[in-house]
Amino acid sequence: MAGSRNRGNGNGSIKKSRSPAPQEEVHENIFVFIPNLIGYFRIVLAVASLYYMPLHPRTCCLLYSISCLLDALDGYAARLFEQSTRFGAVLDMVTDRCTTACLLVFLASAFPRWSILFQGLISLDLASHYMHMYATLSMGESGQSHKKIDQGRSWILNQYYSNNKVLFTFCLMNEMFFIALYLLSFSSPLLSPSLLQPSPQAPSSLQPGSPAAPKPSLLFTNPWSAGAMEMARASKLDSTVPWILAAVSFPVMFAKQIINVVQLVKASKWLAEGDVAERRRRRLAKSN
């Protein structure tokens, strides 16, 4: 019996079959991927720009602009090192939305008469991107990116997201317009009447934007007080370049807001289609 068990290949010797060696499971730390490290650095730069925003417009613009430009570098690094992740995509979008919202909050305080417009832009930007991301994750195929839009669903969004150069140009011009407005709040008496120096005979007035308002240094001796922005405005910047940047970038910024509206509407309809299909599956649909 033992001999019969040993005749595995007919010549009295056993031919042992070798099973493939199990591959060692690779444990990757997504949080230290190069694109995500760039994303963290963008956040640091954005926070630093917010710190300098009330007092140092030049430093703020430099830090904020570098943070925005790195938005293109992290995507390039993700493709180069094959480190595209859902976490990185969400991190990138959240960083963009938060930094833009913070800048718009400052503009709302710098131009109080237009605050409702800036508040509306913040709401539109956050709502459209959240709805779009949620619709893609819940209604799209497994692993589908929010940048992969079927042309049949939306031609505009397909053109907007499918070309990285187009996407970067729209985002860059959008930020450029708001940065230009930020600089104009420090340099243009046309937009900020309080930049006009009051005459010595003019009566004092505490009305916002009034040229007769007293110098901020007389009201706020602490440079970190609520009047710090007005104190910084006293050191004027030249408004020529900001006006040029605002004029050049305004059409693209306006077009991006239209895209945000389209994105919000399309995402809402996509979610509604899913709701209708789910109600039919559960036999909850009722004829109207």
How far apart are the C-alpha atoms of 227 and 253, rounded to whole Å? 30
Contact 182, 166 (CB under 8 A): no
How far apart are the C-alpha atoms of 135 and 146, rounded to whole Å? 9
How far apart are the C-alpha atoms of 18 and 244, rounded to whole Å? 73
How far apart are the C-alpha atoms of 108 and 181, rounded to whole Å? 11
How far apart are the C-alpha atoms of 284 and 2, rounded to whole Å? 69
Residue type (1 letter), 278? E
Tokens of 45: 């730069």
How far apart are the C-alpha atoms of 9 and 178, rounded to whole Å? 80
150 is catalytic: no
Catalytic pick from 96, 125, 238, 275?
A: 96
Q: Which residue's structure tokens are 């926070």?
A: 47
Question: Which value, in Å, is the radius of gyration of the alpha carbons in the chain?
Answer: 29
What are the catalytic residues?
96
